[in-house]
Structures are given as C-alpha cells and as structure tokens.
C-alpha cells in the first residue's frame, strides 16, 4: 500500500543509528507516523525539523503497519519559527492540539488552519485570534463544537455577547443579563460582521478581547477533552498566551 500527500512535521525521534521516526500531520490522511531510513543524515536533518512542510510518500505492506516515509522538502519554516518570540510555543501548541486527534483521520481543515497559524506567529494580535479559531475548530472536529449563530433563549442573531457554559450556545445581551456572572464572554471577532456588537468591543483592549477568547476555548477544551481523557492542559499553550498578551500590551 502507498499514498502521497503534503504534510506538516510535528515531531521526530531517533530510531537505531541512522533512521528516524517522523510524526506528521498530512493534508488528507490525518496524523501519521512513518520510518525515514537515513533520517539522521546531514542531508535529511534540516528537512526533518518540526514546523517544516514537506511532500511525503508512505509505503507499507499492510495499512495497520507503521510504514516508511520518503520525504522531500517544501517549506522549511523551522529556522524562522525559532527566531520569532512566539515561534517555539506556537509550534508546540499546534502540535499538541493535533495530537488530540485520532491517528489517520482526515482533518484537512485543521491541517490548513495549523499552517496559517504557524505562518503568522510574528504577528501577536493575529496569532492570538488564529489560535482561538483553531481551538474552536478542534472542538468542532472532536464533536464538541459551539453554536454562535443565534441566542440560545430567543434564537435572535443580534447582540450576542455571551456563551452558555452548559450548552455552548451564544446568549444575547437581554436574555443573559440576569445570569451574567454565570456566562462566558463571547469575543465579537468570532462573529460574522453583521452580528457584531460594536459597543461591546469598543471599551475593551485587544489583549482583553483575546483573553476572553482564550478562556472560552479553554473552558470547553478542559470540560470536554482534557478532563474526560485525564490529561493536563499543555504548558506550551499557557506560555504562548502569556507571550501574546505581553507583546500586545507592550505595543499599546
């Protein structure tokens, strides 16, 4: 059996004296592992770095086997990531999130979203928003998506400023006012333009709005993913968020 695909390298570990086992998120075959013979050679080491985009071919006698990778370089962004303030934390966070997915399940949208995020880690504001959207998309792919299209109580699409922690649905200003302290804030940048409440956005700084988004995504990740699986949230995510907020506040 064999197939070819584009991929993002998530991790590499030594195998024997000359080979390496590569973990990659592919465009259409999900997260896969494969053996790269000669992967520790001077020619292959710069290519087999987490964060790089590659073209790969997977081969195995049976589908359930580990298989081997033949890898060619595409976009070697690893060195650039190491030079950006958010690069290392951002890469580790993306990789950690993608590892929550079952192996070999196709998640093309998350693959694309991960690449977009990695290519904007030198822009703190944009990186923060992309991280939040990436995490909400991850929840959707895992079966725990939020519904931010209309109010859970009235079905109206105006003045949506909260999210119910129980249902994961948006809540409007009037419907949620009696329960304000029990609801999660809904950052307006997550809504389509006609649904945004400019008054709600205007009195908050960029880092505050982002923190609301980070808290929103984390609440549902912790409740639906980390907690049930008995795993702790990634420290890299905490480090990434701290750096994003600090850089944005320094720019203000």
pLDDT tens digits along 16-66: 999 999 999 999 999 999 999 999 999 999 999 999 999 999 999 888 889
pLDDT at 199: 42
Residue environment code for 143-171, b if the CB has 16+ CB neighbours within 10 A, otherwise e: eeebebebbbeeeebebbbbbbeeebbbb
CA-closest candidate to residue 168, choices 127, 203, 139: 139
Compute the chain's Rg from CA coordinates: 20
d(CA 111, CA 89): 18
* The architecture CATH gives domain 1-77: Beta Barrel (2.40)
Q: How far apart are CA 33 and CA 35, in angstroms?
A: 7
Is pLDDT above 80 for 89?
Answer: yes
Q: What pLDDT shows up at residue 205?
A: 61
Parallel, antiparallel or unpaired: strands 147-151 and 169-172? parallel
What is the arrangement of strands in the sheet containing 147-151, beginning at the earlier edge strand? 147-151, 169-172, 160-163, 184-185
Among 46-60, 159-173, 181-195, 218-232, the minimum mean pLDDT is found in: 181-195
Q: How confident is the model at residue 201 (pLDDT cuts 50, 70, 90)?
A: very low
pLDDT at 170 over 50: yes
Residues 35, 52: Cα–Cα separation, whole Å: 17
Longest dimension (CA), the chain: 65
Phi and psi angles of residue 12, each rounded to the nearest 5 degrees, phi first? -140, 135
Please count the residues of the chain: 252
Q: Give the domain ranges of the chain.
A: 1-77, 124-251
Q: Which residues pair with 26 in a beta bridge?
A: 7
pTM of this structure:
0.92
């Amino acid at each position: 059996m064999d197939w070819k695909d584009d991929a993002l390298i998530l991790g590499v570990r030594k195998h024997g004296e000359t080979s390496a086992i590569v973990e990659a998120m592919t465009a259409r075959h999900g997260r896969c592992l494969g053996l790269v013979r000669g992967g520790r050679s001077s020619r292959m080491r710069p290519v087999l770095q987490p964060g790089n985009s590659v073209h790969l071919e997977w081969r195995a006698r049976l589908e359930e086997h580990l298989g081997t990778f033949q890898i060619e370089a595409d976009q070697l962004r690893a060195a650039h990531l190491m030079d950006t303030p958010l690069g290392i934390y951002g890469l580790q966070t993306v990789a950690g999130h993608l590892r929550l997915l079952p192996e070999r399940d196709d998640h093309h949208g998350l693959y694309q979203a991960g690449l977009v995020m990695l290519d904007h880690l030198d822009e703190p504001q944009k990186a923060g928003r992309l991280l939040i959207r990436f995490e909400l998309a991850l929840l959707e792919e895992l079966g725990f998506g939020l519904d931010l299209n209309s109010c859970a109580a009235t079905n109206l699409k105006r003045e949506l400023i909260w999210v119910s922690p129980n249902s994961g649905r948006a809540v409007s200003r009037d419907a949620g006012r009696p329960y304000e302290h029990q609801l999660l804030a809904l950052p307006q940048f997550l809504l389509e333009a006609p649904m945004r409440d400019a008054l709600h956005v205007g009195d908050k700084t960029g880092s505050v709005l982002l923190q609301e988004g980070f808290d929103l995504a984390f609440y549902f990740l912790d409740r639906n993913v980390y907690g049930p699986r008995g795993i702790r949230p990634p420290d890299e995510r905490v480090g990434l968020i701290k750096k994003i907020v600090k850089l944005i506040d320094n720019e203000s």
